Amino acid sequence: MSARRAILAALGFGIALALCAGAIWSWQRSAANAAAGGESATWLYDMKLPDADGVERPFKAWRGSLLVVNFWATWCTPCIDEMPELQQFSDEFAQRNVAVIGIGVDDADRVRDFRRQHGLKLPLLVAGFDGMDLARRLGNPEPVLPYTALISPDGRILEEHSGRIRPPELRRWVGEHGAH
């Protein structure tokens, strides 16, 4: 084996090992949070973010609901793919005290245009690139979009998911955490 191949193989092995370690760490952290009843996210209810129309939306409006918070961007392909499903999920569970909000890591014009093009009714808030820090505070271990967190009615982080989330996973979350 040439020296270059050996270096590339070692590099590939190191990357694979790091990815596995990160996945195990994330899984263990999620399991520990679930066992402990979830980390507090009550600080979220003190925040306000503008929606796509520039209207300030206080998070305290969603206190008392099972809250699905999805971080996304108009330039993120998996985010774009999951948005219609999030809207359907929101419609399906709206009468069961479940709220779905999207936090755009984007600018208001793009979020507004995206909302119009896709006929979305769920609240789409605008955080710009500061949204990545907010996602991190809600448990996003890496700067990954989309990222979804489930917040209990009393403000605990119950579940989290990096990458595109599917409706069966969201339904499982809701089934396990109270809204049937």
Domain CATH for 60: 3.40.30.10
Which region holds residue 64: left if phi is over 0, alpha if psi is between -120 and 50, else beta? left
**3-class SS at 155?**
coil
**Angle in degrees, 0-180, between the axes of helices 167-176 and 77-93, rounded to the nearest 10:** 40
Give residue 100's pLDDT.
Answer: 98
Q: What digits encode the pLDDT tens for the residues 37-65?
A: 578 999 999 999 999 999 999 999 999 99
* Top-confidence residue, 72 or 27: 72
Q: What digits encode the pLDDT tens for the residues 67-101?
A: 999 999 999 999 999 999 999 999 999 999 999 99
Structure confidence at residue 116 as a pLDDT band (50, 70, 90): very high
- The structural domain count of the chain equals 2
Full-model pTM: 0.78
Which region holds residue 147: left if phi is over 0, alpha if psi is between -120 and 50, else beta? beta
Q: Which two tokens stand for residue 62?
A: 């969603």
Q: Are residues 86 and 19 in the same domain?
A: no
Q: Are residues 153 and 100 in the same domain?
A: yes
